[in-house]
Structure 1
Amino acid sequence: MSKENEQPAAENPETLHKLTVSQPKKWAAGMPAVTAALKDVFEETGAIRGPGALFSMNQKGGFDCSSCAWPDPDDDRSPVAEYCENGAKALAEEATTKKLTPEFFAQNAVVDLAKLDDMEIGKKGRIAQPVYLPKGGTHYQPISWHDAFHKIGDKLNSLASPNEAAFYTSGRTSNEASFVYQLFVREYGTNNMPDCSNMCHESTSTALAEAIGIGKGTVTLNDFYDTDVIIIMGQNPGTNHPRMLTALEKAKNNGSKIIAINPLYEAGLMAFKNPQTVKGILGFSTQLADLYLQVQINGDMALLKALEKLLYDAEMQEPGKVFDRQFIEKSTVGYEEFISRVKHFDVDALCAAAGVPVEQMKQAADTIKHKSKIIICWAMGITQHKNGVNAVKEIVNLTLLKGSIGKAGAGLCPVRGHSNVQGNRTMMIYDKPYKKQLDKLKEVFGFEPPREHGYDVVGSIKAMHEGKLKVFFAMGGNFLSATPDTTFTAEAMRKLEMSVHVSTKLNRSHLVHGEEAIILPTLSRSDKDVVHGEDQFISCENSMGVVQSSKGILEPISEELLNETQIVCELAKATLGSRTVIDWDKYANSYDAVRDAIGQVIPGFENYNQRVRLPGGFYLPNAPREGKFETEEFKDKAPFTITQLPDHQMADDEYMMTTIRSHDQFNTTIYGMQDRYRGIHNERRVIFMNPKDIAKAGFIQGDKVDLFNYHDDIERVARLFIIVPYNIPERNTATYYPEGNVLVPINSVAEKSNCPTSKLVFIKIRKHDG
């Protein structure tokens, strides 16, 4: 088949490396984390460029890490290393000295690049100039910024309706760029604004907005240092949010108890060797989890209900000493109906459904029954399920019973993934904007924004497939590899007339494209952002609602890069022309001007330019943090929610599969092939299985297998995986993503939030034929 007709691969190659397996670790970080981090930085950036930048990362006046959204301490930041291993690896990726020139693209056909694995694609280097893939073309070729903007603008203006275009946002995009982006998209005329929140914490945002009146958590970092109990559910901080371990260690030293709830025993939930302390350097660890509840995949709902019943029984024995009756009376509604159901719960049956022994559940209840300063943390292990919204509401139910919200040392802590994903939503990156937001846009800018809801991620993929979307514009991210049902998504993207990506580095989404494709290279977080000779700064919002500045210090790898805000403003000018009512040049030339506009439109950002210049930034308003609840249905009251247990029916030869990150990756960016905490080296195509399941199915360790899903009577297959025995509940399995994403059905989504159910896929396992 000629390159003109060959389709670029949508997935990683179905090839294996030389897997070696070691014993999983029982602690995280330590000196191996330091060694691994510095190794990547030196290899990619040299001895000066990257190491020098590390001293500015996450510091006041420095730049924000481009990986996770864990907050920086308000005061006691490490002067040496306010970053983690994966943060250093993220810096190494973007600060690399390797760059992709026109010669690179001339020498490498798209179809050949797609034969590489995701790690190899990403390691090629920074994109140094805009490139364009013409219809029928085989190679990206250079294009001027002027021509790129006008080509995109002409395409957008040729559409029958603005709703034939969708505009995606990744969590890396700054507040300023996000605001002008949504402003352009809405003046253009659509709310088709899918974003990465749709795939991760959308269930959280949906549930919390209904339950407490704001789609965000309620705690600050300082609350972790003044709490009695921390419950961590569906989250692996040692890999996904490593700086959280420092906060957990400090909490432990202050007397807090930690309950970990996860299907896998994860090193970062068991113990922490802090490499910034003498104790950690010498190899001594701090035990983190006092109690580890190894729940079944999606057994969290049953676990929470069992806890509620045990606490109810304790409350009946000691009235007023277990539940916070005063808080319940003053600040909640629906208690009587809720508790009338709780009193009939069967603890034994619930524990069986959760997969947790009754005695351990009683230990958990005893730990919290006389405590009210309780923080509950969660991430994708809770949200990416069909019942994800209700699971979050059940977490809220527990905090309401205990009065563990609206006070110091207590509250709800959804731990966001990407570094400004929460800020994106605050900046109105949303396919379902609120009327009051749109009214404010109209008042400030003088145009009528579209009112009908747009497409989210899953809706966009389906609309592409049905030919309803013609143009897809992505502000960052690796859409194809992040989304579910990879084959279906790839087919959808190939039906586009044009795909455009604003990116720093090459990824698979650039290689599975529309009829025409354009890549617009942009600055990274660590790059100097100079406009008219003056160094600029952007701002971001972390998981706990702190907005702070971020100012890059590295010389950009190329002179042909624009910042994201400039890209949006130039595209707006090329698309909207004389019909725009907005002075896009003003915003392209001045982040301060953008921030002034944000202050006029978005509550909590008054005097934005002054407050963002304060060391450490400022906190956004958070009513539930103050014990005030302004839900749509109730005034100053948080409702208890009646939820149902999920009912999972599996055939005898089926298993539940969850997708997880390796320790050597962040989201879809693969840093390396070493998942050292789980003992997996030099391979990613593995499936973790319980040893009893392996034997019962007639497999042995190291067998090569294919994985199948049959949702909606469609066969989805992930080929050539290696079986690895692991401490995971029976009938539960785990694979890394994006390799496992091909098995996640496009039509399997969370109720209400439409979040893909990547944490629970029903699969069959067969020996690989070949």
Structure 2
Amino acid sequence: MSDDLTTTPDPMTYDGPVGGWGSAKGMAQVARAARPGPGALETLRRQNKPGGLMCVSCAWGKPPNPHVVEFCENGAKATLWDLTSERCGPDFFLDRTVTELSTWSEYDLEMAGRLTHPLRYDAASDRYLETTWNEAFAAIGQELQALDPKAVTFYASGKAGLEASFLYALYARAYGHVNLPDSSNMCHETTSVGLKEVVGSPVGTCVLEDFEHCDMIINVGQNPGTNSPRMLHPLQEAAERSCCIVAINPLREKGLIEFASPQSVWQMTVGSPTEIADRYLQVRTGGDIAALTGIAKHVLALERAEGGVLDHAFLEAHCHGVQDWMDWVDATDWADLERVSGLTRDAMEGIGAIYARSKAVIGVYGMGLTQHVHGSDAIGALVNLLLLRGNIGRKGAGCSPVRGHSNVQGQRTVGITEKPELVPNDRLRDLFGIEPPMEEGWNTTAFVEALLEGRAQGFLGLGGNLARAVPDTDRVAAAWRAMPLTVHVATRLNRTHLMPGRSSWILPCLVRAEQDIQSGTNQQVTVEDSFSHIHGSIGKRTPASPHLMSETAIVARLAQATLAPSPKMPWDSWADDYARIRALIEAVYPDDFRDFEARMNEPGGFYRDNPARNRDWQTESGRAQFTCPADLDATGLGERAGVYRLMTLRSNDQFNTTVYGMSDRLRGIEGDRMLVMMSPEDMAAEGLAPEQRITLDGAADDGVVRRVEGLRVVPYDLPRGCLAGYFPELNPLSPLSRGDLASDTPAAKGIPVRLA
């Protein structure tokens, strides 16, 4: 590193809007790489429409009256990727050892194509070899019987439908454990814990229709352009009817700045894009609690000066802890709020003034708010602000977390949880004759801790690439292969598959767009969106290989091979007709799934209701809860000389650990993914030039050495002291020891690092 100061470089930018021809170009690039088979366009035409395919990308709601085109760039990429014509069959593995494949990038592994045959790992040749389904199920069942169930983990990635997810959770409990982590543990588990504490609901209180009736949207730590592009349509419509949209985010993300709708001939030709955010507050990483408190502090000041600002009737009838919170706000100094948030008092007061005169406000948030040590407190800070004017439990208002995986919320709904108290165990006993374990199981963090300590004996993955998605990936990789058994239900090869346990199996499954023929009938599956609506989905494409099985059938066959026969659990009968599984789901969860079979194809999905939306507060106090945070700084890092706050992000060509290409178009960044974004001012102060290669060291106080080398520095519009880079490449710097104090969600948006 040079000791000389450089001139301040210009930050990277993207000149175009989100959507428009740039989106079309991005889809075309992925289509050229994936070379999807016949019928891909027809699948896209049906995507997210009643009687069609529900997208496997994000969980944004599906409207009852869909657009002609109801998919976004990311959703199209996911479908085209699934329907690739590339195949990764047994011959591929005969030519390549696992050791060789371990050196490949995520992108190159994905580009090998769809898995076509069940595979078993052969340690002698260091290769995956073709096997039969019967051999695989018999061997896996026998090995599971020999292991301690309490030391085995059943992980779910968030993509499998409700039918497979319900059977998976039942299988785990019948086997003898509730080690049932899913991808929610990595992102929105903070919502399940933190939001439930303050409003009594573990999910958002809004429905899609609310976005048609709000006059203010506060978007905190959520980037719709990359993570949920279909959300841009309601944001555009809100902006065009003069709804005030406020963005609070460390990066100036293009999806919150301007959008050109591909549905609009005018915007795709001569028209200009729609400006989205009226105000954009570039909060310091982890400064959301302070920012939201500053806004609320001004709202209280306006009430005292002018009156008529707070909803006193709502506060008196529905809220608890109001005065204690107000006293805490009064005692919190503006200087501290400015220092921690990185915002000026004027900026926070400006938003407070708009909020004070808005009639219906939605608080939207993503993982930028939740993936912190005090992420639950950050959710509480947003809810505090909403409660002041009664903005929960009425039309056009509420709290709206935006989920990632298409069915991650639904998996929790039907029993994939490590917490026994969240499941109707009495019904499971009566219906299935099992004795569900009543002690808490392992979430993702607990599983990784057990893995690193040598206590984890077996892993079943229903999708996903968990060893790359978790914190401390270098340490995890070294420990993963020590497990006696690893089993992966998958569609494509990924890095976790290349860390085989002593016995390891890959079980290839159908994608949601493909026909799922059981007993001569093409089966439907169901998913739940971010707004608690349930949708039916049916695939029409010919499967990539005649040797594939559905996720539901694989789970049933595994259970059948592992468990003792029981007339109350006819796994083969359930796998023959998914309507029988939906009848079981309705029997176990009658309130949520009343008339399940009859309602699952309703346009827009059927709503399973939310007590908090009805102002039924299922909290400890029986009311909506005002809370005072433990720390204004959500990162919990304080001020440490030379320590930067690193946040990990997706690129535009990515969905979680799936990498479609090397373009991050919406940030103006192209090329390899080994990079770190840094403010031009910090680059100049550190004597760094654009594209210079540097090393980052972890700066957590836990005694573990963490390092990532060879990162090119990219100048980007960020607050001073904040860095950003890609997930999962920078996960080795993320400490397992740092997670939300209430939920264990990894603090991936506030990783302490130093320049080496």
TM-score normalized by the length of structure 1: 0.94
Question: 1:764, 1:239 → 2: CA distance?
Answer: 28
Instruction: Quickly say closer, same or farther: Cα 1:436–1:235, change in 2 above 3 A.
Output: closer
**1:658-711 deviations in whole A, cap 9, x for unaligned?**
101111101110010011111111221111111111111121112110110032
Question: 2:432, 2:142 → 1: CA distance?
Answer: 24
Match of 1:335 in 2: 322
- The partner residue of 1:680 within 662, 666, 669 is 669
Using the aligned pairs only, state the percent identity: 37
Does the 8 Å contact 1:333/1:638 carry over to 2? yes
Alignment of 1:114-133 (within 5 A): 114-133=102-121
Question: 2:727, 2:404 → 1: CA distance?
Answer: 15
Question: 1:309, 1:216 → 2: CA distance?
Answer: 27
Paired AA for residue 444 in structure 1: L
**1:593-638 deviations in whole A, cap 9, x for unaligned?**
000000000131021111113333301111111222122x123x11
Q: Give the C-alpha shift of residue 652 in structure 1.
A: 2.3
- The partner residue of 1:727 within 717, 725, 742 is 717
Match of 1:271 in 2: 258
The gaps in structure 2 that reach 5 residues or longer are 1-9
**1:121-163 deviations in whole A, cap 9, x for unaligned?**
011100001000034441100111111011111111001x210
Does the 8 Å contact 1:25/1:267 carry over to 2? no
- The partner residue of 1:708 within 697, 706, 718 is 697
Match of 1:669 in 2: 658
Question: 2:516, 2:38 → 1: CA distance?
Answer: 20
Paired AA for residue 639 in structure 1: Q
Q: Give the C-alpha shift of residue 721 in structure 1.
A: 0.4
Paired AA for residue 393 in structure 1: G
- The partner residue of 1:84 within 61, 68, 72 is 72
Question: 1:608, 1:251 → 2: CA distance?
Answer: 33
Q: Give the C-alpha shift of residue 503 in structure 1.
A: 0.4
Is 2:390 the partner of 1:400? no
Q: Give the C-alpha shift of residue 286 in structure 1.
A: 0.3
Q: Give the C-alpha shift of residue 41 in structure 1.
A: 2.6
Is 2:60 the partner of 1:70? yes
Is 2:745 the partner of 1:758? no
Q: Give the C-alpha shift of residue 410 in structure 1.
A: 0.1
What's the secondary structure of 1:693's corresponding residue?
helix
- The partner residue of 1:30 within 12, 17, 20 is 20
Alignment of 1:225-264 (within 5 A): 225-264=212-251
Is 2:548 the partner of 1:558? no
Is 2:41 the partner of 1:55? no
Does the 8 Å contact 1:172/1:476 carry over to 2? yes
What's the secondary structure of 1:140's corresponding residue?
strand
Paired AA for residue 640 in structure 1: F
Match of 1:546 in 2: 533
Alignment of 1:149-160 (within 5 A): 149-159=137-147
Match of 1:642 in 2: 628
Is 2:591 the partner of 1:606? no
The gaps in structure 1 that reach 5 residues or longer are 1-19
- The partner residue of 2:159 within 172, 182, 185 is 172
Is 2:367 the partner of 1:377? no
Instruction: Quickly say closer, same or farther: Cα 1:251–1:527, change in 2 above 3 A.
Output: same
Paired AA for residue 643 in structure 1: P
**1:53-76 deviations in whole A, cap 9, x for unaligned?**
21111111111111101111122x
Is 2:266 the partner of 1:289? no
What's the secondary structure of 1:625's corresponding residue?
helix
Instruction: Quickly say closer, same or farther: Cα 1:285–1:436, change in 2 above 3 A.
Output: closer
What's the secondary structure of 1:343's corresponding residue?
helix
Does the 8 Å contact 2:12/2:715 carry over to 1? no
Match of 2:354 in 1: 367
- The partner residue of 2:687 within 659, 676, 698 is 698
Instruction: Quickly say closer, same or farther: Cα 1:73–1:169, change in 2 above 3 A.
Output: same
Does the 8 Å contact 2:695/2:710 carry over to 1? yes
Q: Give the C-alpha shift of residue 295 in structure 1.
A: 0.1
Is 2:306 the partner of 1:318? yes
Does the 8 Å contact 1:693/1:731 carry over to 2? yes
Is 2:747 the partner of 1:747? no
Which has the higher mean CA deviation after the structures are superposed, 431-440 or 513-522? 431-440
Question: 2:412, 2:188 → 1: CA distance?
Answer: 11
Count of equivalent residues: 741
Does the 8 Å contact 2:56/2:159 carry over to 1? yes
Paired AA for residue 683 in structure 2: I
**1:301-340 deviations in whole A, cap 9, x for unaligned?**
1101111111110010122x21111100111111111112
Is 2:419 the partner of 1:432? yes
Question: 2:665, 2:113 → 1: CA distance?
Answer: 25
TM-score normalized by the length of structure 2: 0.96
Match of 2:90 in 1: 102
What's the secondary structure of 1:133's corresponding residue?
strand
Q: Give the C-alpha shift of residue 557 in structure 1.
A: 0.6
Match of 1:718 in 2: 708
Paired AA for residue 756 in structure 1: P
Match of 1:7 in 2: none
Does the 8 Å contact 1:484/1:741 carry over to 2? yes
Question: 2:420, 2:106 → 1: CA distance?
Answer: 34
Paired AA for residue 685 in structure 1: M
Does the 8 Å contact 1:26/1:266 carry over to 2? no
Question: 2:430, 2:377 → 1: CA distance?
Answer: 36
Paired AA for residue 70 in structure 1: W
Question: 2:565, 2:431 → 1: CA distance?
Answer: 19
Q: Give the C-alpha shift of residue 404 in structure 1.
A: 0.2
Does the 8 Å contact 1:374/1:411 carry over to 2? yes
Question: 1:650, 1:22 → 2: CA distance?
Answer: 28
Does the 8 Å contact 1:25/1:676 carry over to 2? no
Which has the higher mean CA deviation after the structures are superposed, 722-731 or 490-499? 490-499
Is 2:657 the partner of 1:657? no
Match of 1:448 in 2: 435
Q: Give the C-alpha shift of residue 435 in structure 1.
A: 6.2
Question: 1:746, 1:730 → 2: CA distance?
Answer: 26
Q: Give the C-alpha shift of residue 363 in structure 1.
A: 1.2
Which has the higher mean CA deviation after the structures are superposed, 575-584 or 664-673? 575-584
Q: Give the C-alpha shift of residue 492 in structure 1.
A: 2.5
Question: 1:170, 1:431 → 2: CA distance?
Answer: 15
Question: 1:436, 1:728 → 2: CA distance?
Answer: 43
Does the 8 Å contact 1:494/1:512 carry over to 2? yes
- The partner residue of 2:332 within 323, 328, 345 is 345
Question: 2:15, 2:491 → 1: CA distance?
Answer: 34
What's the secondary structure of 1:403's corresponding residue?
coil
Question: 2:594, 2:521 → 1: CA distance?
Answer: 24
Q: Give the C-alpha shift of residue 367 in structure 1.
A: 1.0
Question: 1:422, 1:136 → 2: CA distance?
Answer: 41
Question: 1:546, 1:681 → 2: CA distance?
Answer: 37
Question: 1:579, 1:547 → 2: CA distance?
Answer: 30
Q: Give the C-alpha shift of residue 291 in structure 1.
A: 0.2
Match of 1:626 in 2: 614
Match of 1:12 in 2: none
What's the secondary structure of 1:755's corresponding residue?
coil
Paired AA for residue 222 in structure 2: Q
Instruction: Quickly say closer, same or farther: Cα 1:43–1:690, change in 2 above 3 A.
Output: closer
